[in-house]
Amino acid sequence: MKRGSSTFLTFFLLLVSALFVACGGDKKEAKAPAADNGMDDALALLPGNAIAVGTVDARAFFGSESFGSELAKLVEKYVPMGQEAGFQASRDVDRITWASYSYQGIDAAAIVIGRFDEAKIKEVALKQTPTKSGGMLVASQYAGRDVYTINNMGFTLLSSTKAIAGTESGIRRVLERIKDGRVKRDIAPWMIETVETPGAAGAVAGDFATQPMPAEALRQIPVPFIQSMKAVRVLLSFKEPGLQIAGSLTYPDEQGAGTASEHVKQVAKQAQWLALIGVKVQNVDVKAEKQDVQVKLEGDDQSLRQVLASAPGWLGQ
């Protein structure tokens, strides 16, 4: 399956993308919070050995009085399937829990909680009705389930309220776990602890020590403080004046963290130029603590609306 930056852009927008991510806290090898290790546990469905794991409370994002409508417009623009299949992302998606892997390049799988009209989806695939993107929804079988693909991405329904979405390899790994009875939490406990932070509208945990970042991704993100990063923890929450972001970046040693913190500060200073286009990043705090770089910043509602309104232009649309 061909993969490109546009493919993954679509995927993360489907995951309510615009996770202007962030998160904090120390990396702890604590025991993961107890959960029902069954089909209702998204983190048990996802395979272990993840490069990154995250979650998005879609209802919190779309329900924002200040920028929810702008986010809905952006997501609906890029999600390839729409009303022809009885689907509207801003209306029908509640939460997405996802993970990225390095199976064949960069792969991803997500457990999407929401509402799905299986009858309409099957009808679109059977009748080869063009989707709103112009592409065709193609149905195939894997592990006893219907898998639908469109524009190099795919999904399969576990029920009318739960779907698996992502790349073909990512979806297959989840289906294999279900078929083989291996549904249990295999993701690192500290990553689960980050993703399950109470009250977070979005969270991300990345492990680049045991799962090195793919060379393809490194080429696309030529930023010094990312190149040597071993782990990242990110939380996002809605607080006055808008969006509050805090992040913890981990490096091999204290010297590496000190160097990285200076690079992050330089990037923060350059971000001040964003004010010229109406994007204001404020209350930026960057400091090195042993092997970690702690980052906190805020963005107001007006800036978030401006970012979302400008996104299609940045993406060449």
| Least confidently predicted of 164-168, 210-214, 258-262, 294-298 | 210-214
CB atoms within 10 A of CB 205: 28
- What are the residues whose beta carbons fall under 8 Å from the beta carbon of 95, sequence distance 6 or more? 42, 55, 56, 57, 58, 59, 112, 113, 114
CB atoms within 10 A of CB 248: 23
The predicted pLDDT at position 317 comes to 53
The mean pLDDT of 297-308, rounded to a whole number, is 73
Evaluate if residue 21 carries a pLDDT over 50: no
CB atoms within 10 A of CB 220: 11
Q: pLDDT tens digits for 92-129?
A: 999 999 999 987 678 899 999 999 999 999 988 888 87
Q: What is the 3-state secondary structure (H, E, C) of 105-123?
A: CCEEEEEEEECCCHHHHHH
The predicted pLDDT at position 215 comes to 67
Evaluate if residue 1 carries a pLDDT over 70: no
Q: What order of strands is seen across the sheet that includes strand 153-159?
A: 138-142, 145-150, 153-159, 162-166, 107-114, 93-101, 52-57, 202-207, 231-239, 242-250, 292-300, 281-289
Structure letter (DSSP) for residue 50: -
In Å, the largest CA–CA distance within the chain is: 61
Q: For residue 173, what pLDDT band results from cuts at 50, 70 and 90?
A: very high
Structure letter (DSSP) for residue 149: E
The mean pLDDT of 264-291, rounded to a whole number, is 81
Say whether the peptide bond before residue 214 is cis (omega within 30 degrees of 0).
no
Dist. CA 2–CA 136, nearest whole Å: 16
Evaluate if residue 248 carries a pLDDT over 60: yes
Contact 84, 134 (CB under 8 A): no
